[in-house]
Amino acid sequence: MRWVVDGINVIGSRPTGWWRDRPGAMRELVEELRALGEPVTVVFDGRPLALPDSDEVEVRFASRRGRNAADDDIVALVAGAEQPTALTVVTSDAELAERVRRHGAEVVGARTFRERLSR
C-alpha cells in the first residue's frame, strides 16, 4: 500500500497560520510523512522548492500551475498505476476523491490522516 497525499489540502486542514510560511509548512509535512515510516508520494501545488525525497517519501510538485493542477497530477498517478487499488489518496477534496475512486484507489480524509500522523 502506498499513500498519495494532496499536500496543500492536508496542510490546510489545520488552521495553524501555515499560509504565512507555506514553504515551512511543506517541509513540516514532509518530515511528518517521513516519521510515518510508510511509502508516501506527496503532491504539492505551487512553485517547486527543495524538499528532499527519501526512501519512503517521494515529493512531487504539480506539473502545471492553476486550478486543480495537483489534483490532475494525482488522478494521472492513480490512473497510470499498475495497481490503483494499492493506493490510498489522502484528501478532503470531494471532487478529487470521486475522481480517484473511479480508478480504484481508496480515499482517506485529511483530518483522519492527520490523526494517524499524530500517533
What is the per-residue pLDDT for 39? Answer: 97
Q: Tell whether the model's pLDDT for residue 52 goes beyond 80.
A: no
Neighbours of 55 (CB within 10 A): 7
pLDDT interval class at 118 (50, 70, 90)? confident
Tell me which CATH code domain 2-118 carries.
3.40.50
Q: Which of 107, 86, 85, 111 is CA-nearest to residue 96?
A: 107
What does the block give as the cell for 16?
Answer: 495553524
Per-residue pLDDT tens over the stretch 30-41: 999 999 999 999
Element (H, E) at 97: helix 94-101
Residue boundaries of the structural domains of the chain: 2-118
